[in-house]
Amino acid sequence: MTLNIPKEEWASFFDDLTKRRFEWKINLEVINREIGDQLLSQGLPLKGITAEFDGERNVIEILLGKDAEHHLTHNVYDPTVVAFLPNKTDAGGILEIEEVDGTKTLIMILEPMPVESGYGTYRVTHV
């Protein structure tokens, strides 16, 4: 069942989603009638999604990335619809953001990133 998120709840919805799915693998796709489907990112971890309202222009900013070499920021200008379709079998899902011109941004929330562990050397000093 698709959940339509009211505009007044976008900021808190994205804050909550970012906290719960931080570092999860994401596929990011833009669908536009003129340019077709564009896969912007495949498997980069989620760093954050924010909604900013300045009166005239509303922007949703999507931040993905592993490091300085592998990252992406995608802005959705003048969004009109935010909808979320959760997966039935896991905690992932699809977030759809539609712009005023009909362009759709799809954020596929796939799975948590694997935990990387290793050994490091730490110097402890007494204060």
- What pLDDT score does 6 carry? 96
Average pLDDT over residues 52-68: 90
Per the CB < 8 A criterion, the answer to whether 102 and 33 are in contact is: yes
Average pLDDT over residues 114-119: 59
| Residue 88 pLDDT > 90 | no
- What pLDDT score does 120 carry? 54
- What pLDDT score does 123 carry? 44
Q: Tell me, letter by letter, the H, E, C secondary structure of 23-87.
A: CEEEEEEEEECCCEEEEEEEEEEEEEEEEEECCCCEEEEEEEECCCCCEEEEEEECEEEEEEEEC
Q: How many CB atoms lie within 10 A of CB 118?
A: 4
| Residue 34 pLDDT > 70 | yes
Average pLDDT over residues 1-24: 93
Domains and CATH numbers, the chain: 3-112 (2.70.180)
